[in-house]
Amino acid sequence: MQVLDTTVHASPKGATVEFLGEGGENIAVTMVVSDPLLGDAALIDRAREMMLQCAAFGGPAERDGPGGKVNAGRPEIERPSDGGQGPYTFEYREGGTVRRLESVELPDLEAVRHEALRSAIDLLDDAAEPHQGDWAVRVRGGDGAVVASVDFEEARQEKAMAAM
């Protein structure tokens, strides 16, 4: 879909970003917004990131035949190569635990880095306690090597710059 216009509907409880396309196509992303001072540009960026995650993670899993191979519900499409790094495993540090999200498909290392930074900022927003130094989000390539890492201080700095 080619986006022709974007509208933002914000309220104290959240925001909806509508992407209007040719032929009357429309995609709406509704978000709970923790920062009431987010401007339209930041809300649009967040909505785009959410759509990227939905596309990358697919829909409900389905079983493909006797081997039990899982198909994440997304169509098989060719993606630009990033040198064979993917699929990626995102590791999120939350307090004393590490949460892993495996088999994430993103088009290149730039998209991986962007998603890791966005996720680290979200961890800051969701945290009940202040984070100390150390990594917040790290990403491993298909071979298990770390291909991107964002620490809490970098996430704080990026969040402060975005607020300006």
Q: What angle do CA 63, 65, 66 make, to 5 degrees?
A: 115
Residues 53 and 86 in one domain: no
Give the range among 15-19, 78-82, 155-159 with minimum mean pLDDT. Answer: 78-82
What confidence score (pLDDT) does residue 60 get? Answer: 42
Q: Give residue 72's pLDDT.
A: 40
Phi, psi of 12 (to 5 degrees): -60, -25
Beta strands 135-140 and 146-151, pairing class: antiparallel
pLDDT at position 89, please?
A: 92
For residues 52 and 87, membership in a common domain is answered with no
Domain check: are 85 and 156 in the same one? yes
Same domain, 86 and 157: yes
Residue 127: what pLDDT? 62
Number of folded domains that form the chain:
2
- 34-45: average pLDDT: 76
Instruction: Of 57, 38, 46, give the one whose Cα is nearest residue 19.
Output: 46
Containing domain of residue 150, as a range?
81-163
Bridge partners of residue 21, in order along the sequence: 3
